[in-house]
Chains A and B, each alone.
Chain A
């Protein structure tokens, strides 16, 4: 009995672990017959940046549903095959390889975070499968090769507009920067902010670093406080941004002392984690659900109806647009053959989407307006639109 027991427990443990990791979600529709066109999507549906993946995924789903309701493309329905990378480094490469080799998808949609898009991009490039990133803003993503596209603005533009915003609206001349060294997005955005900001006479009084996943930022914030800045720029993602803001407030940098960031702050979780501390913080992003254009209001209405009254954020809007741009290109290409589809995506011009007009330039990037959002009374509030 004893001997049996001693073998049983470890075996059980290993078995359970295997069964837990084995039950990842796979294709929503596995109809692999000739009547569907398979499009792959990889997203962070669970883990630290789950809010990004879920918003983007819901936007994409809504778009695919709509396309299929209107008869699909090339007389076929689009089947979305999606995989979760659990916000883990290394996972995106594996699942994109699987989407291409096993599911035989014709194109890949994803990701929000630049770091994870950069993992998948070389694989798509190598296999001549076009990849459209909905909201990775780091310039390096599309530099990987001519099969990689994005439907959002890039960080050089975002960095510059944040620098102008800090100078003109926040009246900040001394700014401290707190960068996530583990994220290409954060490192890139910090650089693209510092250049125009210092060129316009601003000074960076403190330049501190952290690593994504850290929870304690008091050390860096204490050093920042000693440098006496007018504001703190946090070019990171929402989980850390919320904790950083909270700890900055605890150290006595209370509102109206402003903290500000980029589109990595865009998630409802920012307010849920940060709570009252988030008052008087600002970030730039791709769209506001408060915009009055009929296109946006129609999108918000459809999204709310499909997802229990949730209000779509920028990641959802870009997820929607990325799928729409892809469908439009497939229609124009008349085929799903990799090189021809690539050429069709590359010639996307003035495609009107929820986040504005999409025209892909020679570097496969879009140029779009940005909006600035603030947190007021526990809610996101639209501040202004900045055109390129």
Chain B
């Protein structure tokens, strides 16, 4: 039983990171109907931004840690907006495929630029927060970093839901998502809304990057590829375009992966995890929380 609960904790803390990255994919898809493949590399830039900021800030203090988190989120928000402005906006009236290929190009550009500027060798990410390990009941262990992942993920998820549901800009986002032409007819500036979406999504990726680096303190310019891929799958699993769905998909993927990894079949983790996903999508093609939309031709 202890082992089961421990695996559940491990799975949830891994899943919470997937969820944070998946939110960025899902938000951009919700508004623009395209997959921003560069998102996983913004996640990497977030971790590196944290690494460089932390060099100038007192280590292992709560305030310093939060400052690094905020700084990295700000840098990535700006990066996200710049990427959208330079690479995606000029292609907005073209077919979706053009933007998709450009996104892959931006992703490769960030990875290779990362190797060029940060160096291709893994770097050791510092402990930003004082690390403590808590033991509950009969041997159940949870580190303060794992807790930080939960807390930050929940805070960000709730504030994201608040922004999308209750604020003016959130209403505008939903309007653009529903019908961009109609939205601009009623006086919404689509460019501003889309920039905001990219900024917000990239800030979440940065938070994910820092939390990931805190738990697995070896960072390199290609670190985003695998978590990014899994987060993308998580977003599809939960129903792409749906915010709670992305969070649910991330957590589910983290838990499935952890339980397979802890079993005798750890060699086939990805195979089993993805087979389960295919099964779920066979029965719910739009994802767990997604709604099927009939596309009119």
B269's nearest neighbour on chain A, judged by CB, is A211
Q: Given A10-B105, A21-B112, A269-B122, does the pair A223, B139 have CB atoms closer than 8 Å? A: no
Q: Which of A223, A242, A273 contacts B262 (CB 8 A)?
A: A223
B109 and A220 within 8 A (CB): no
Q: In the complex, which range does the number of interface residues on chain A fall in?
A: 35 or more
CB distance from B19 to the nearest CB of A (A): 15
Interface string of A37-63 (1 = CB under 8 A from B): 000000000111011000000000000
Inter-chain CA distance A9–B141, complex, in Å, is: 50
A215 and B120 within 8 A (CB): no
Q: Name the B residues within 8 Å of A21 (CB-CB).
A: 112
B216 and A47 within 8 A (CB): no
Confirm or deny: A252 has a beta carbon within 8 angstroms of a beta carbon on chain B.
yes
The interface stretch among B85-93, B159-167, B278-286 is B85-93
Q: Given A209-B266, A252-B141, does the pair A10, B102 have CB atoms closer than 8 Å? A: yes
CB distance from B68 to the nearest CB of A (A): 18
Q: Name the B residues within 8 Å of A10 (CB-CB).
A: 87, 102, 105
Confirm or deny: A257 has a beta carbon within 8 angstroms of a beta carbon on chain B.
no
A218 and B133 within 8 A (CB): no
CB distance from A87 to the nearest CB of B (A): 8
B6 and A222 within 8 A (CB): yes
B133 and A219 within 8 A (CB): no
Q: Name the A residues within 8 Å of B3 (CB-CB).
A: 222-223, 225-226
Confirm or deny: B63 has a beta carbon within 8 angstroms of a beta carbon on chain A.
no
B122 and A219 within 8 A (CB): no
B112 and A20 within 8 A (CB): yes
Interface centre among A47, A209, A216, A272 (most CB of B within 10 A): A216
Q: Name the B residues within 8 Å of A14 (CB-CB).
A: 105
CB distance from A207 to the nearest CB of B (A): 8
Inter-chain CA distance A233–B40, complex, in Å, is: 33
Inter-chain CA distance A46–B139, complex, in Å, is: 40
Q: Name the B residues within 8 Å of A216 (CB-CB).
A: 10, 14, 215-216, 258, 261
Confirm or deny: B257 has a beta carbon within 8 angstroms of a beta carbon on chain A.
yes
Inter-chain CA distance A350–B109, complex, in Å, is: 52
Q: Name the B residues within 8 Å of A226 (CB-CB).
A: 2-3
Inter-chain CA distance A291–B146, complex, in Å, is: 43
Confirm or deny: A251 has a beta carbon within 8 angstroms of a beta carbon on chain B.
yes
B115 and A46 within 8 A (CB): yes
Confirm or deny: A6 has a beta carbon within 8 angstroms of a beta carbon on chain B.
yes
A-B residue pair count with CB separations less than 8 angstroms: 116
Q: Given A10-B87, A250-B133, does the pair A273, B217 have CB atoms closer than 8 Å? A: yes
Inter-chain CA distance A107–B216, complex, in Å, is: 40
Inter-chain CA distance A269–B263, complex, in Å, is: 30
Interface string of B2-28 (1 = CB under 8 A from A): 110011001100100000000000000
A46 and B119 within 8 A (CB): yes
A46 and B121 within 8 A (CB): yes
Confirm or deny: B189 has a beta carbon within 8 angstroms of a beta carbon on chain A.
no
Q: Which of A6, A51, A220, A243 contacts B216 (CB 8 A)?
A: A243
Interface centre among B3, B90, B258, B266 (most CB of A within 10 A): B266
Confirm or deny: B184 has a beta carbon within 8 angstroms of a beta carbon on chain A.
no
A239 and B257 within 8 A (CB): no
Confirm or deny: B276 has a beta carbon within 8 angstroms of a beta carbon on chain A.
no
Inter-chain CA distance A252–B10, complex, in Å, is: 14
Confirm or deny: B192 has a beta carbon within 8 angstroms of a beta carbon on chain A.
no
Q: Name the A residues within 8 Å of B90 (CB-CB).
A: 2, 5-6, 9
Interface string of A79-123 (1 = CB under 8 A from B): 000000010000000000000000000000000000000000000
Interface string of B222-263 (1 = CB under 8 A from A): 010010000000000000000000000000000001111111
Interface string of A207-232 (1 = CB under 8 A from B): 01111010110111011011000000
Q: Which of A213, A243, A269 contacts B226 (CB 8 A)?
A: A213
Q: Name the A residues within 8 Å of B223 (CB-CB).
A: 215
Confirm or deny: B135 has a beta carbon within 8 angstroms of a beta carbon on chain A.
yes
Q: Name the B residues within 8 Å of A269 (CB-CB).
A: 122, 124
Sample 30 A-B pairs with CB under 8 A, ordered by A number.
A6-B91, A9-B102, A14-B105, A17-B112, A20-B112, A21-B112, A46-B120, A46-B121, A50-B120, A50-B121, A50-B122, A51-B121, A210-B261, A211-B269, A215-B216, A218-B10, A218-B14, A218-B258, A219-B10, A219-B258, A219-B259, A220-B266, A223-B3, A223-B262, A223-B263, A239-B218, A242-B218, A250-B141, A269-B124, A273-B217
- Given known contacts A86-B120, A216-B14, A219-B258, what 14 new A-B pairs fall within 8 Å (CB)? A2-B90, A9-B90, A13-B102, A13-B105, A20-B112, A20-B115, A20-B116, A47-B220, A215-B215, A215-B223, A222-B6, A239-B122, A243-B216, A251-B6
Q: Contact residues of A with B, CB < 8 Å?
A: 2, 5-6, 9-10, 13-14, 16-17, 20-21, 46-48, 50-51, 86, 181, 208-211, 213, 215-216, 218-220, 222-223, 225-226, 239, 242-243, 246, 250-252, 269, 272-273
